[in-house]
Amino acid sequence: MPIANVNGVNLYYETTGEGFPLVLSHEFAGTCQSWEPQVRFFSRRYRVITYNHRGFPPSDVPEAASSYSQDILVEDLYQLLRYLKIKEAYIGGCSMGGGVALNFGLAHPEMTRALILAATGAGTTGRETFEPKLKGMARQIETEGWAVVAERYAHEPNRVQLLRKDPRGWQEFVDELSAHSNPGSVHLIREVIIKRPPISALETQLKRCKIPALVMVGDEDDLSIDPSLIMKEHMPGAGLLVLPQSGHAINLEEPAIFNRALLDFLTAVEAGKWVVR
């Protein structure tokens, strides 16, 4: 089992294929396995690196809440790339992982050839309902556990699209979610997702960011639409793709569209044809 000891924890990672590195950071409700459709596709021409964040076994699950924050997750990724002797890469992420990818790019632009930001920035708007709902979910996981909560969570309005499009994939999502660490997830909700700065608070940094960026969002993923528009408006190198009748897990819901759009983006970047204004 490939394990990197970085930033005081052991992180599980997978590396597949050869070529320029493409690093993908998973969402809160997923693991590195969430990127399987992309690993199989992009490892034909890239070295694809996926990993489990701290809090997601077989990576370590630190007991202290102080061991979790978005900045800590960004530092985990930085040290993982250093461990793998990667000096520059395409950096991508979905949801919580998209926040990690974006903030990694802002902190380490010299290591970031391009950014892939999928379903990123929930909680930027609608804080009056977002935060209480997240606190309630943390309490449910704490008291009932994922084994009980997972299927209910997978019926959320921005998750049922996967059920409609790919029932087998949806069940795999539920089964994997049921096995998540309860304490790890609670810490991630309270210390990362609730406390991370909204995308709107990053406007100054976004305007200075000259990194090519592909922003992708489903048109039924209500909490991620506004932050996606903010990134498109303020990032000089951002392009926006909106997937129709799609929810939060767009890389799983529409892998063919997602992969083709991402391949076209990377091809344009490599050809010097992606515009950074």
Rg, the chain, Cα only? 17
Half-sphere exposure of 119 (CA within 13 A, CB side): 26
Domain span including residue 26? 3-125+198-270
What average pLDDT does this structure show over 260-275?
A: 98
The pLDDT of residue 117 is above 90: yes
Structural domain contains residue 180: no
What average pLDDT does this structure show over 67-92?
A: 98
The pLDDT of residue 103 is above 90: yes
The pLDDT of residue 251 is above 90: yes
Say how many domains are in the chain: 1
* The pair of three-digit structure tokens given for residue 196, joined into one six-digit string: 């991370």
Is-contact 91 112, C-beta < 8 A? yes
For 188, which DSSP code?
A: I
The pLDDT of residue 94 is above 90: yes
Structural domain contains residue 245: yes
| Model confidence band, residue 264 (pLDDT cutoffs 50, 70, 90) | very high
Distance CA 83, CA 254 (A): 33
Structural domain contains residue 17: yes
Cβ atoms within 10 Å of 269's Cβ, excluding its own: 19
Alpha carbon distances (Å) from 107 to 76, 102, 111, 202, 211: 13, 9, 9, 12, 12
pLDDT in tens, 231-250: 999 999 999 999 999 999 99
DSSP β-ladder status, 112-118 and 213-218: parallel
State whether residue 212 is helix, strand or coil. coil
Identify the pLDDT of residue 26.
Answer: 98
Structural domain contains residue 59: yes
Q: What is the CATH number of the domain that holds 82?
A: 3.40.50.1820
Identify the pLDDT of residue 1.
Answer: 83
pLDDT in tens, 180-202: 999 999 999 999 999 999 999 99
The pLDDT of residue 169 is above 90: yes
Structural domain contains residue 86: yes
Task: Say whether pTM exceeds 0.85.
Answer: yes
* Average pLDDT over the chain, rounded to an integer: 98
pLDDT in tens, 11-32: 999 999 999 999 999 999 999 9
